[in-house]
Amino acid sequence: MRIQNQIKQGDYRSDGFIGRYQRLVSSTVIPYQYAVLNDNAEGAEKSHVVQNFINAGKALRGEDTGDGFYGMVFQDSDAAKWIEAAAYSLKNFPDPALEKQLDDLIDIIADAQDEDGYLDTYFTVKDKEKRWTNLLEAHELYCAGHMAEAACACYEALGKRKLLDVMLKNTAHIYKVFIKENHGGFPGHPEIELALMKMYRLSGDRKCLELAEYFINSRGCDTDFYKRECEARKWQVWGNDAGNADYQQSGVPLRKAENAVGHAVRAVYLYTGMADLAAETGDSELYEACKRLWNSITRRQMYITGGIGSTVHGEAFSVNYDLPPDTAYAETCASIGLMFFASRMLENEVKGEYADVMEQAFYNTVLAGMQLDGKRFFYVNPLEVIPGISGVSPTHRHDLTQRPRWYACACCPPNAARLISSFGKYAYGESEDTVYCHLFASGHVSFGNGMELSCETDYPYSFTVKYNVKGNGSVAIRIPAWSRKYSLSVNGVSSDLKPCSGYVYIPANGGCEITLTLDDTPRFVYASPAIPRLTGFAAVCRGPLVYCFEGADNDGDVLSLTLDTSGVISVSEEPDTLGGIVKISVPALRTAKTDALYTSRRPDQTDCTAYAVPYYTWGNRGENQMRVWLPFTK
């Protein structure tokens, strides 16, 4: 039985913690990003993306293209992600001025589409002859994928069809090139696979399904494709190594893949498409491969924050257990992609661990990717930052201490915006007779199977979740693995239902009221000794939130702190700190500073209290030290 998680966006709007983020995206993030895309945001990197589309339209009409193309070869995708965020957000918060901006941008994009359906400003403006000659680097299929996702969002959330028609025409073009004309090859940066699956489900156009199958099934079969392509072309974008098949996730047919390898965002977008296809077609061999890849990521290559892709070298997975906190890469987009992968794994099989990881990635790395005011963004998400070293030393240059306003490579900011504004798609799922609550968030949702549900909670700071359910069927509610105890009542009567694969199944029978109370006890978490540098270190978590120790709460110095893990962790509500948080205090020792670089005199240690704030809020009070992992004593 296939579980459908990508529930219609219009059926869900969030309140509470998530609602506040969705309002921030609507009121600040989307307008700010619109200004950036139009080069009207002071102090932000130049984008030029809208102008690229305008110039591509001119190129097609044979007009002077003015300042031509500017930016990354995949610059188009920034506009696509903004459109997607705007479409979902408009459904949550109607806004005629934003809708007009959206419509106008869609018109500009439609004008940039060639008669044959081709759509990509880099090639249309710069050199039409080079289309499809550099799948390895040139991101044509990646940009098409993002625009297809944007098209689906506009149609599904707002009933706007224009962009969907543009992208179905574009798909027909790609189908002609790859299926009918047998061009060969597969995307250097996967993304189109998952987008094609979305478009297939929305439009029923079988070309989308066939293309997704083609890209997934052919990948890794012709291992020399990129080498031949590289030899045949006389140009390059970055000079990527065409022989590094692992980096390209093309060293083995995907069905045989054992380990998650290569560029992390590419990997999880690809695995999402695979899991989509497996769920759609019931392909158990493909799902088995997805499970191996899932385990490879989450059991051996994932940070406690749900960050993945630990090395800056190629923005990639490293090797098992290589998870350094201070030189972490952990790109925001990679954790967003991990959420995508998790949500599609849930469509194959309802298992708590998939939603647990989805939640871990969201509340930690994804939210940390954005400043609390919605105007600055992290691309890289370290678990330890020391001003003077981080962002400065050659080995730590990528680990910034503060979020920049924008990036020349701006994939992460609009990705976070589209994810937050479509949160309901990840929170809920449905089958014919059951609704699934994967994530906890206040709000109301109506399902295609006729059931309706209202949820009230102050999660992730309070752990009571109340549901009011209408309709016939069952409600499946996740019991997170971190919750060592929980209580459940149905219509006021205590229930001893036990979870099955991480979910309790409650018969609703015409409606019911459910109250779930999860464990609010803060806890120490320890890493496997297989991870270098973390033996003897502990982190602190409460619910889904990973905490971090910042200089701002600890007299400017967290490097000299050692946690006393035999002590009791206390919590205090701080509604006026960092947008409203629960702060954590832990008994600790402070090691005295010495002037000498090394000394044989054992340093003094004094009792103190170490204070921690949720990781997603770090770096919001100016530059200061930050550590997720601290050494522990006892």
Could you list the active site residues? Answer: 315, 411
Separation of alpha carbons 63 and 55, rounded Å: 9
Selection from ligand FUB, Zn ion, none that 160 binds (CB < 5 to 8 A by kind) is none
Binding at 469: pick from Zn ion, ligand FUB, none (beta carbon under 5-8 Å per type): none
Q: Which stretch binds Zn ion (CB under 5 A): 195-203, 410-418, 506-514, 605-613?
A: 410-418
178-197 residues in contact with ligand FUB (CB under 6 A) are: 189
CB of 188 to ligand FUB, least distance (A): 9
The residue with its CB nearest to ligand FUB is: 265
Which does residue 74 bind out of Zn ion, ligand FUB, none, counting CB within 5 to 8 angstroms by kind? Answer: ligand FUB
Residue number of the CB atom closest to Zn ion = 333
By CB under 5 A, tell whether 531 contacts Zn ion: no
Question: From the list ligand FUB, Zn ion, none, which binds 409 (C-beta under 5 to 8 Å, kind-based)?
Answer: ligand FUB
Separation of alpha carbons 359 and 365, rounded Å? 10
Q: Identify which of residues 331 and 384 has a Cβ nearer to Zn ion in the complex.
A: 331
Q: What are phi and psi of 504, to 5 degrees?
A: -95, 140
**Residue 315 binds which entry of ligand FUB, Zn ion, none, with Cβ cut-offs from 5 to 8 Å by kind?**
ligand FUB
Question: Dihedral angle at the C-alpha atoms of 629, 630, 631, 632, nearest 10 degrees?
Answer: -100
The secondary structure of residue 262, as a DSSP letter, is S
**Residue 446 DSSP SS3:** strand
* Residue 411 in the binding site for ligand FUB (CB under 6 A): yes
C-alpha pair distances (Å), 35 with each of 30, 73, 101, 160: 9, 21, 11, 23
409 binds ligand FUB (CB under 6 A): yes
- Choose the one of Zn ion, ligand FUB, none that binds residue 50, judging by a C-beta under 5 to 8 angstroms depending on kind: none
CA distance 201 to 382: 37
Q: How far apart are CA 538 and CA 628, in angstroms?
A: 8
CB of 377 to ligand FUB, least distance (A): 13
Please identify which residue in 120, 315, 347, 553 interacts with ligand FUB, judged by CB under 6 A. Answer: 315
> Applying CB under 5 A, which of residues 412, 435, 514, 546 lies at the interface with Zn ion?
412
- 333 or 339: CB nearest ligand FUB: 333
- Residues in region 111-130 near ligand FUB by CB under 6 A: none
β-partners of residue 256 are none
Quote the least distance from Cβ 3 to ligand FUB, whole Å.
27
Query: Using alpha carbons only, what angle is made at residue 230 by residues 80 and 221, rounded to the nearest 5 degrees?
Result: 80
In the chain, % helix, strand, coil (3-state, to 5) comes to 40, 20, 45
Which has the closest alpha carbon to 353: 370, 365, 367, 341?
341
User: In terms of CB distance, is 114 or 315 closer to Zn ion?
Assistant: 315
- Cβ 329 to ligand FUB shortest distance, Å: 9
173: partner contacted, choices ligand FUB, Zn ion, none (Cβ within 5-8 A by kind)? none
Q: Identify the three-state secondary structure at position 613.
A: strand
Rounded to whole angstroms, how far apart are CA atoms 363 and 323? 19
Q: Which is nearer to ligand FUB, 167 or 411 (CB)?
A: 411
Site track 61-100 with ligand FUB (rule: CB under 6 A), x = hit: -------------x--------------------------
- With CB under 6 A as the contact rule, the residue among 265, 289, 316, 366 that binds ligand FUB is 265
C-alpha span between 163 and 426 (Å, rounded): 24
Q: Report which of 86, 196, 100, 56 is spatially closest to residue 421, judged by C-alpha positions.
A: 86
In the chain, the N- to C-terminal Cα span, in Å, equals 50
333 touching ligand FUB, by CB under 6 A: yes
The answer to whether the CB of 453 falls within 8 A of the CB of 470 is yes
CA distance 258 to 291: 9
Task: Write down the least CB distance from residue 333 to ligand FUB, Å.
Answer: 5
Question: For ligand FUB, which is the closer residue by CB, 268 or 539?
Answer: 268
Total binding residues toward ligand FUB, as defined by CB under 6 A: 8
- Measured from the Cβ of residue 1, the count of other Cβ atoms closer than 10 Å reads 9
237 lies in the site for ligand FUB, by CB under 6 A: no
Closer to Zn ion by CB, 202 or 260: give it: 260
DSSP 552: G
331 binds ligand FUB (CB under 6 A): yes
b/e map 491-503, b = 16+ CB within 10 Å: eeeeeeeebeebb
Q: What angle do CA 20, 25, 31 make, to 5 degrees?
A: 140
Report the amino acid identity of residue 495.
S
C-alpha neighbours within 13 Å on the C-beta side of residue 522: 25
DSSP per-residue letters across 199-218 = HHHHH--HHHHHHHHHHHHH
Task: Indicate the residue among 238 and 598 with the shorter CB distance to ligand FUB.
Answer: 238
Residue (202 or 412) nearer to Zn ion, CB: 412
87: closest CA among 38, 147, 4, 151?
A: 151
Residue pair 171/205 in contact (Cβ under 8 Å)? The answer is yes
Nearer to ligand FUB, 262 or 325 (CB): 262
- Judged by CB under 5 A, the number of residues near Zn ion is 4
- The answer to whether the CB of 583 falls within 8 A of the CB of 612 is yes
109 binds, among ligand FUB, Zn ion, none (CB under 5 to 8 A by kind): none
315 vs 399, beta carbon nearer ligand FUB: 315
What 8-state DSSP symbol labels residue 312?
Answer: T
Q: What minimum distance in Å lies between the beta carbon of 369 and Zn ion?
A: 8
247 vs 549 by CB, closer to ligand FUB: 247
Residue 350 to residue 331: CA distance in whole angstroms: 27
- How far is 348 from 341, CA to CA, in rounded Å? 11
Task: Indicate whether 411 belongs to the interface with Zn ion (CB under 5 A).
Answer: yes
**How many angstroms separate the CA atoms of 216 and 228, rounded?**
20
270 binds ligand FUB (CB under 6 A): no
Which residues, numbered 316-355, are part of the site for Zn ion (CB under 5 A)?
A: 331, 333
Instruction: Decide: residue 67, CB within 10 A, 0-12 exposed, 13-18 middle, 19+ buried.
Output: exposed
212 binds Zn ion (CB under 5 A): no
Radius of gyration of the chain (CA): 24
Q: Which residues bind Zn ion (CB under 5 A)?
A: 331, 333, 411-412
Q: Which residues bind ligand FUB (CB under 6 A)?
A: 74, 189, 265, 315, 331, 333, 409, 411
